[in-house]
Structure 1
Amino acid sequence: MYNILLVEDDLDYGTVVKQYLEFSGFQVTWTPRAAEVNTLIIQQAFDLAILDIMLPVKDGFTLAKEIHQNHPQIPFLFLTAKNQNIDRLLGLKLGAADYISKTCDPEELKLRIDNILRYTQTKTYQTYQLGIFTFTPNLLRLEHTKKKYQLTERERDLLLLFIQHDRSILEREVILNQLWQSADYFSGRSLDVFVTRLRKYLSDDDAIQINSIRGVGFKVDLARQTPQS
């Protein structure tokens, strides 16, 4: 089931769109506030974002720039009442997969969404099988049959480093110099936070272990299978 993020501050219209898309088989997370978007993306893995432009505090164009910069793996489209050609051109220049008027027929909206997802989901990316998890670095995605996690770039890079040193000892200093370019106290505390996050994500599979070796680093066993592509 595809997971869609809907950002729309019109409560009546947002309700209609959410209900129609869910009736059409999508999972929809709806928020009227642009300020919540980054947190939601970190908490969940979204296949598509649908953005209104005329949002309070932060407009949809600004939000789109942030999504494109921080989460480039998530395609987005504009669903808006702003129908002037200059707005449409700006939206497409920002990287929108489509620019759709709110007067659009619901069935047409679904078809356009289907077309976008059909294109983005057929791209081939390298994946790693870690126990019950599938890890797709390009999409910053870690998932199994019941859960999907949208990783940050730092979480992705740390997990890749663990994969490179699977079933061996990985020194803290190596991690800090490669990912933080510093081995100072504050970088070390940050590393511990990210290791804790990865342990939490991977805790659904008891075969996966990230063990700390005091004063040295980490010994990992990711129950890894052959990389796929």
Structure 2
Amino acid sequence: MPTILVADDDANIRELVCLFLRNDGFETAEAGDCKEALAVYAQVHIDLVVLDIMMPIMDGWTLCKELQRSNPDLPLLMLTARGETWEKVKGFQLGTDDYLTKPFDPLELTARVGALLKRYRIGSTQTIRLGSIILDRQTYKVMRGTESLALPLKEFELLYKLAGTPGQFYTSEQLIDQIWGIDYAGDDRTIDVHVKRLRERFATATDFHIETVRGLGYRLEVHK
């Protein structure tokens, strides 16, 4: 069963959230602040983190950065007391996948946790299917029907990253860090150029498209 780390300085909220998660079949781990959350994460295999933004010692923004640095593909669900737009945008820019505003319905939280895990199970496989297009991470091949497409390595990794979590947007900075590495010193427009090339290669594709989210980044949308 997946293990969910609940990081919140309110013990009552932690107890309630963990109770509902366990009733839904999940394993849980708890942390009362961000330093404790990092310590738990280092010792226990965690599949998803539910984190509060306003915590002592280290805020949730910093925790989010640390977790993303350790594992860019770790699903994060952010809890915010106010739910202001700038908080949501900042959270998404830092790598959170979803958010809930306090007070929240625990049943909604467990539903969102389940949806995130389902989405990320797609991203954790070595093969991703986008309609008639198949991406194989082991061979770095792209198949469109019976046709084999040869993509440069970075274009493949960028497409694979976006396709692994359809609907989630990534900033250019996140994609640079996760694909080129944090020490990359190239042009800031590298992601723009690679996205443009992918769009040109798959201009006739009816299975998906790469969408620009103004002011936020890119996401891949699958056509139903």
Report how far residue 75 of structure 1 moved. 1.2
1:54 Cα deviation (Å)? 0.5
Q: What's 2:83 paired with?
A: 83
TM-score, normalised with respect to structure 1: 0.53
| Partner Cα distance (1:124, 1:88) in 2 | 26
In structure 1, the residue matched to 2:18 is: 18
Worse-superposed segment, 11-20 or 49-58 = 11-20
* Counterpart for residue 115 of structure 1: 115
Q: 5 Å matches for 1:43-58? A: 43-58=43-58
Residue of structure 1 equivalent to 2:8: 8
Q: CA deviation at 1:30?
A: 0.6
Following TM superposition, where does structure 1 have runs of at least 4 consecutive aligned residues deviating by more than 3 angstroms?
A: none
Q: In the alignment, which residue of structure 1 is the partner of 2:144? A: none
Gaps of 5+ in 1: 127-229
State how far apart, in whole Å, the 1-side matches of 2:124 and 2:31 are. 31
Taking the aligned partners of 1:62 and 1:53, their CA distance within structure 2 comes to 9
- The answer to whether the 8 A contact 2:75-2:97 is kept is yes
Once the two structures are TM-superposed, the CA of residue 124 in structure 1 deviates from its matched residue by 4.3
Deviation for aligned residue 1:19: 1.0
- In the alignment, residue 60 of structure 1 is paired with which amino acid? G
Q: CA deviation at 1:86?
A: 0.9
Secondary structure of 1:122's match?
helix
The letter of the residue matching 2:123 is: K
What amino acid sits opposite 1:107 in the alignment?
L
Change in Cα spacing, 1:61 to 1:124, as seen in structure 2 (3 Å) is closer
Cα distance in 1 for partners of 2:77, 2:17 equals 14
The alpha-carbon distance between structure 1 residues 124 and 16, as it changes in their structure 2 partners (threshold 3 A), is: closer
Per chain length, whose mean CA-contact separation is higher, i.e. which structure has more relative contact order (CA < 8 Å, sep 6+)? 1
Long gaps (5+) in structure 2: 127-224
Q: State the identity %.
A: 34
Q: In the TM superposition, what is the alpha-carbon distance from 1:73 to its structure 2 partner? A: 3.0
Return the alpha-carbon distance in structure 2 between the equivalents of residues 36 and 73 of structure 1. 21
Aligned residue-pair number? 128
Question: Which amino acid in structure 2 is aligned with residue 5 of structure 1?
Answer: L
Q: Root-mean-square deviation (CA), in Å?
A: 1.9
Kindly state the Cα deviation for residue 45 of structure 1 after the two structures are TM-superposed: 1.1
- Does 2:127 match 1:104? no
Written as runs of structure 1 = structure 2, the 5 A alignment for 1:146-185 is none
Distance 2:119 2:50 in 1: 16
Is 1:53–1:82's contact at 8 Å kept on the other side of the alignment?
Answer: no
Between the aligned partners of 2:10 and 2:124, the Cα distance in structure 1 is 37
Contact 2:5/2:46 (<8 A) preserved = yes
Q: Secondary structure at the match of 2:68?
A: helix
Mark the structure with the bigger radius of gyration: 1
CA distance in 2, matches of 1:124, 1:36: 27
Match of 2:139 in 1: none
Q: SS at 1:5's partner residue?
A: strand
Q: Under a length normalisation based on structure 2, what TM-score does the superposition of the two structures give? A: 0.54
